Amino acid sequence: MARLPSGRLGDGMALISYSRHQFPPVVIQHAVWLYLRFTLSYRDVEELLAERGLDISYETIRRWVLKFGTVFARGLTLGPDQKPGGPSSRSCTEIQTGPLDGAGQQALDTP
């Protein structure tokens, strides 16, 4: 996630204050992203960060997920052109339904 000059995070995320945190925002974002993106426990995330030379306890990661997780998750589910509470960029008419052929392609009905 790139930090924009306006103090906001990319992908439509609201301003997040990282003041009074020992670690830089990039580390916090990565730890929360690992927990939310993959099916990992807090201790698994702790081990992954330890492999990168970061000594962060699972309790700290748990606190970060509770504090920042909802904002990050909202940013992950919304596309860059969407706003929270707004309509989806894909309308229901754009979603193609129907049988698929053996290669996973949409089967075309020829009259």
Residue 82: exposure state from Cβ atoms within 10 A (0-12, 13-18, ≥19) = middle
pLDDT of residue 79: 61
**Range 66-91 average pLDDT:** 66
pLDDT the model gives residue 21: 87
Q: How far apart are CA 57 and CA 62, in angstroms?
A: 9
Report pTM: 0.57
Average pLDDT over the chain, rounded to whole? Answer: 73
Taking 50 as the threshold, does the pLDDT of residue 91 lie above it?
no
Report the phi/psi class of residue 98: left, alpha or beta, with left for phi > 0 and alpha for psi in -120 to 50: left
At 19-67, the pLDDT tens digits run: 888 899 999 999 999 999 898 999 999 999 999 999 999 999 999 999 9
Nearest by Cα to 36 from 66, 69, 62, 13: 69
pLDDT for 98 equals 54
DSSP string, 17-30: --TT-SS-HHHHHH
* 63 φ/ψ sector (left φ>0, alpha ψ -120 to 50, else beta): alpha
Percentage of the chain beyond pLDDT 70 is 54
Q: How high is the pLDDT of residue 87?
A: 47
Higher pLDDT, 84 or 31: 31
Q: Locate 83 and state its tokens.
A: 């706003």
Entry field: residues in the chain: 111
State which amino acid sits at residue 101.
D
Per-residue pLDDT at 71:
85
